[in-house]
Structure 1
């Protein structure tokens, strides 16, 4: 049985696809590189943003038109968030819900035998220590928990991922040990909210990081997105764990808005002041820290003053990475009951924020010119060269390198999105 998979969305979704591929190969399937070769096509969906939804619905339609004779399976968040739309869009497709990926082999086999199977709902399957087909043999994505504790008014992902389920530290350490033994040099801790880890089991993120950094071997850990409201009760210990030389000096802490009123309307559970306290605390203890943050532009209650507040906060925190999303209503969310703001206004604000983002990233990266950095090579560049990361997770492109190697480089050029370097003699 030959299976072709396409994945949309976040690091967590990519890990889901890698696990499904591993399970399918373990049970006799073969993962192929094109839909033409396949008996079964699996599309693993993301549904967090409206443009992504549009891209996915177009792709599902195209696959059905191009390959009507092939079996189609839809996996991921769309299955649980918008089943009615999916029924109309792909009435003959099987489903694998976001928390039911462990059942992929059974669903694929049933679909191949002519049965329409749709596995949905919030199962309690543990995704740790399962077979895995990594897309990059040097990088291991470690899912530490699934679901969240939040009730953000704009987010539909929580309807797919459900309540928080943290995986045991002992199993996560065992999976990380195996990844290092397999030759992985980067371990990415991922979740809908890594700061929520253990709040349902009595364990905590700092202990997990310390357990993984104690594994022998040369590798680095990237800790994924943390919700500000869930970091505060473990803040000191998390900062201490970040100081380990095996942890990238990289903090992904979404702001979403610089206005306390909008944060309240979003039901974020934190204030701007609390956010700034966390950032300042990290930067005091880890001066070389890179900060990544997220902002939603054009929330239904955002006026010009609220947007200016966001510009002011971004100017103050000067983030190295800024992810900007234009607000769109999402299925089932509380904010979708409110009227959307004028789309031209939203576009103008997004452009203004993006200009600030580019200016800040350019200035931050310029400071690294002519400095010497230690980088870890994790990939080959799509346009030539090799991709490495500094200790603060900045991207550096070098001409020649051995994948998986740690190198000393001199930064020769800087752009807003990456750096160029030459290997130090």
Structure 2
């Protein structure tokens, strides 16, 4: 933990779960899939203690807020929500209490539950709730040194979870009828690097488990993908893996990447994308870009636009740079919000042109997919082998195999008509 962080471990409640035993609990979760994985584990811990989850704060004896503080607007939203519930029996977990405890205590006086406490309490349980999509955390922390990132300060250095523990969680989900297994971490491709193992080894072993399931590999840093690229591509031969990559580039300018501490070049990133596409032409690519990073010139921003035009991803997650406490650029001169908003709008509009061009070629075609998630009554999400999302207007069971005609382009997914189906 770096100097200046506000965490005080001695103030944590030894067993916060005892205070929730037998209670009706309302939980709000914000942020990444990892946070949602923490919440799912917390729900199982509460059940073990005789508690139950309710759908509204009005029904609850206690309220849990699983916080995110990745950018300034999210932090402010967290503080507003915490202030709203300050007169309630309030518990707070997630990244925020690990790095901004004083900010929390300025608006409320909750019980702090650290993510580590959730993880340790859950390890002896390992039960899961039946669902179409299951989140499996494979590590916490990262090996990165990104200058803008407060999450790495909250979650710490890489700690890969044991392979058998991950196997046990996947088996539990599959036995509960879950089809889509989402592997998550702050950097999935770093798994094992602290213990002499590699992600391809883990994926190979997971692909041998029995049952009806597919695995979606979560966010990977180009810096940790580079050294395992060939082995990683080999593993994606397995039908157990969705052909989907989420690899954030963050900038199309090497100068900005260096200032960000990202430890790879634009060429490294493009080499990864090109290698996968040569091997798997239909692979789905998602990436992230930060706009308005301190020192980003118009030319640097143009490099990001050009990169998106070259790689034509299926999704670009755009973040306006937000100075975070305890990070390198925190004291640097920031751009006005108006400039960051303009660049965000320009990049988003350009990215959407890429989606439209790619999706237009798929309209009217027939694809094979499998139902992974129930959305609303009478509607389900299905995924192709390359993780293309298709919403079907039928109430089909999870695991249903379907042939679907793609009828409408919704940018990030399609609406489709089911032509044939095979129930699980």
Alignment TM-score > 0.5, same fold: yes
1:93 aligns with 2:113: no
Alpha-carbon displacement from aligned partner over 1:251-288 (angstroms, at most 9, x marks no partner): 00000000000000000000001111111011111111
Trace 1:375-386 onto structure 2 (pairs within 5 A).
375-382=369-376, 385-386=379-380
Name 1:39's counterpart in structure 2. Answer: 61
Trace 1:261-410 onto structure 2 (pairs within 5 A).
261-382=255-376, 385-404=379-398, 405-410=400-405
Cα offset, 1:379, TM superposition:
2.4
Give, in whole Å, the separation in 2 of the partners of 1:263 and 1:383: 45
**Equivalent pair of 1:129/1:172 in contact (CA under 8 Å):** no
Name 1:198's counterpart in structure 2. Answer: 192
1:7 aligns with 2:54: no
Cα offset, 1:349, TM superposition:
0.8
**Equivalent pair of 1:198/1:204 in contact (CA under 8 Å):** yes
Alpha-carbon displacement from aligned partner over 1:335-390 (angstroms, at most 9, x marks no partner): 11211012222111111001011111122222211222122212233485221122
Name 2:40's counterpart in structure 1. Answer: 18
Correspondence for 2:411 among 416, 420, 423: 416
**Equivalent pair of 1:26/1:131 in contact (CA under 8 Å):** no
Name 1:183's counterpart in structure 2. Answer: 177
Give, in whole Å, the separation in 2 of the partners of 1:375 and 1:50: 39
User: 1:127 and 1:166, CA in 2 relative to 1: closer, same or farther beyond 3 A?
Assistant: farther
Cα offset, 1:235, TM superposition:
0.8
**Equivalent pair of 2:68/2:75 in contact (CA under 8 Å):** yes
User: 1:192 and 1:397, CA in 2 relative to 1: closer, same or farther beyond 3 A?
Assistant: same
Name 2:12's counterpart in structure 1. Answer: none
User: 1:400 and 1:208, CA in 2 relative to 1: closer, same or farther beyond 3 A?
Assistant: same
Unaligned 5+ residue runs, structure 2? 1-22
User: 1:190 and 1:33, CA in 2 relative to 1: closer, same or farther beyond 3 A?
Assistant: same
Secondary structure in structure 2 of the residue aligned to 1:352:
helix
Cα offset, 1:215, TM superposition:
1.1
Unaligned 5+ residue runs, structure 1? 103-124
Give, in whole Å, the separation in 2 of the partners of 1:80 and 1:408: 47
**Equivalent pair of 1:397/1:419 in contact (CA under 8 Å):** yes
Secondary structure in structure 2 of the residue aligned to 1:350:
helix
Give, in whole Å, the separation in 2 of the partners of 1:367 and 1:58: 45
User: 1:237 and 1:267, CA in 2 relative to 1: closer, same or farther beyond 3 A?
Assistant: same
**Equivalent pair of 2:67/2:92 in contact (CA under 8 Å):** yes
**Equivalent pair of 1:80/1:98 in contact (CA under 8 Å):** no
Give, in whole Å, the separation in 2 of the partners of 1:45 and 1:196: 24
Aligned-residue Cα RMSD (Å) equals: 1.6
Runs of 4+ residues over 6 Å off in structure 1: none
Give, in whole Å, the separation in 2 of the partners of 1:342 and 1:3: 41
User: 1:129 and 1:421, CA in 2 relative to 1: closer, same or farther beyond 3 A?
Assistant: farther
User: 1:100 and 1:126, CA in 2 relative to 1: closer, same or farther beyond 3 A?
Assistant: closer
Alignment TM-score, normalising by the size of structure 2:
0.90
**Equivalent pair of 1:254/1:295 in contact (CA under 8 Å):** yes
Give, in whole Å, the separation in 1 of the partners of 2:94 and 2:388: 30
**Equivalent pair of 2:133/2:373 in contact (CA under 8 Å):** no
Alpha-carbon displacement from aligned partner over 1:279-336 (angstroms, at most 9, x marks no partner): 1011111111010000000001101010001101110011101100000101111011
Correspondence for 1:72 among 90, 94, 101: 90
